[in-house]
A and B are shown apart, each in its own frame.
Chain A
């Protein structure tokens, strides 16, 4: 069983949802980023979603845009992102999923990018601006090199399209709980139970829910229904809030992850 499937199986065995954490690779600098990953993975994170910084992240809200900008200004390159994964692999066997944009995968050849990602220790790839209709090359490369694919389902995705998306997904489905870009919201979208049921009726793949989730209570609310809960901007904000004193970033992230990840257990109580 792959690392990704093991993570879901373990969570299921513990009668809870998996806790998926997003941070931007290299934010705000390489060494801090390594320690951020360590803090996450030792504080309840089951799956690490690494944002690969892109100059034009059009599916992301301001929090993640600025994180990408900090990472790029801090010298992150494709090679450094792979290097970051290798460093994390020195201390963790948790699944790592790239959250990225297609041009970064495409620029030097899809196959060689996926091969390099696999060699570094990446388990899955989610390409935000790559719908299944255009994903043939990525799917083929992922199959060849043993990397799992993750695709998004949106509230605007019609029923018949869910099966199409499921058919090209090998890792898990990512339901974005609302129309819009990434970022913390005051309230979790109201119709998540119905949406989860709508998707479950059409695919057996594990399904995580994300976008706009930022408190333990929100995590618990979503964990009652989904196989996994994704928190991103709320963690990235811990980086943003301590830029003046970077030593405080890692403890802040650790505390936040511990607090949020408790939500996945309470959701099933």
Chain B
């Protein structure tokens, strides 16, 4: 964690610039065929964003379909167990379809409908974004195709079945290491081919402009609620906030309202996998370097020549070689700091949270818990820590049982 004072940041709302840049990060790095679709999407989004009717419709569906607002829950027994700061959990796991992903899926589906696109495609890693997209497509009557790495389809078989139940076509991707990165490649190939009638609902704060901005905006509701809820509960802002970071959509939505609150420390937690060795982890700030992948310039795990490296994490949703460009930007400015959690620590925290709170967390979110518990122990009892519980762990129980050697 950084102890350097925060350098002055531009107004958080001024980013990205019109070309999608967050300082030296972000941008538009896609084949020419997609350029027009992306600028049309950016234009349509900007109009929708400023249209009170669109926002009212989105709020309506977030409440009635997704189940917002979500609770800010005081984790009393975890707090006692750690013996330090008061631990609150932002309960995004209580949302319909089981994770924060529905915030963005709803927003983009409404946008697709507004743009007259009848077909939607998406990629998914852990399956949560795929399930959320399948659900909103069912609700709005949109044709839905989800690309998913073959390895992820196996470790998240339950989510594959859920997507199919809701009418989505799930296409397995056999290339490369058969996880999230390959699913995005394949979704982009589909989009290049069918760009005129298709909207691509990208599920993380990644890729080409306007996605990092748009996905962030659709998740800002998380942080807005936290602010209100913590002020009501504690009469003040938290001392520290922690979220897991794959691409970084839950984290940026959770942090965004607090970027200009210097008293609130913000920490993103990456996947340390089996440890920080080449190919064994997905912690981009541990060994990654600046590069361009799948539409944007950011920190990427890559070899000397720029070939993208293999990654590993017990959680499919964090198993990805690049990090959202806005995270890289605020890390440079010492506004968001980063840590990582390893698979074995995650397995322990997963069980601890289940046992002490009666809440089974998603393996992705459990990375935030691992670091949160360490921090809580180091903090004073009168300090307040909020952890974003971005998803529930129902989807992970088969895999966890397998790792623990339990036969179901």
Contacts and interface: CB of A to CB of B under 8 A. Distances in A.
Interface of A: 54-59, 61, 65, 69, 72, 77-78, 102-108, 128-131, 133-134, 151-158, 161, 165, 176, 179-181
A77 B305 CA distance: 7
Contacts, number: 114
Given A154-B32, A157-B32, A56 B306 contact: no
Contacts of A165: 32
Interface in B178-215: 181-182, 184-185, 188-189, 192-196
Nearest to B181: A56
Contacts of B193: 179-181
Interface of B: 19, 27-37, 175-176, 181-182, 184-185, 188-189, 192-196, 290-295, 300, 302, 304-308
Contacts of A128: 31
Given A58-B185, A102-B292, A131 B192 contact: no
A78 B34 CA distance: 28
B36 A59 contact: no
Contacts of A78: 304-306
Nearest to B33: A154
A269 to B, nearest CB: 32
B196 A179 contact: yes
A107 B192 contact: no
A181 B192 contact: yes
B308 A55 contact: yes
A179 B195 contact: yes
Contacts of B36: 156-158, 161
Contacts of B291: 103, 106-107
B306 A103 contact: yes
Nearest to A81: B305
B35 A55 contact: no
B101 to A, nearest CB: 22
Given A107-B291, A156-B35, A180-B33, 16 more contacts: A56-B182, A56-B185, A58-B185, A58-B294, A61-B189, A72-B307, A104-B305, A129-B29, A129-B31, A131-B35, A133-B27, A154-B35, A157-B36, A158-B36, A179-B192, A179-B193
Contacts of B29: 102, 129-131, 134
Contacts of B294: 56, 58
Q: Which 9 A-B pairs have the closest CB atoms?
A: A107-B306, A180-B193, A154-B33, A152-B32, A78-B305, A103-B306, A55-B307, A59-B31, A58-B185
Contact of A129 (B182, B194, B292): B292
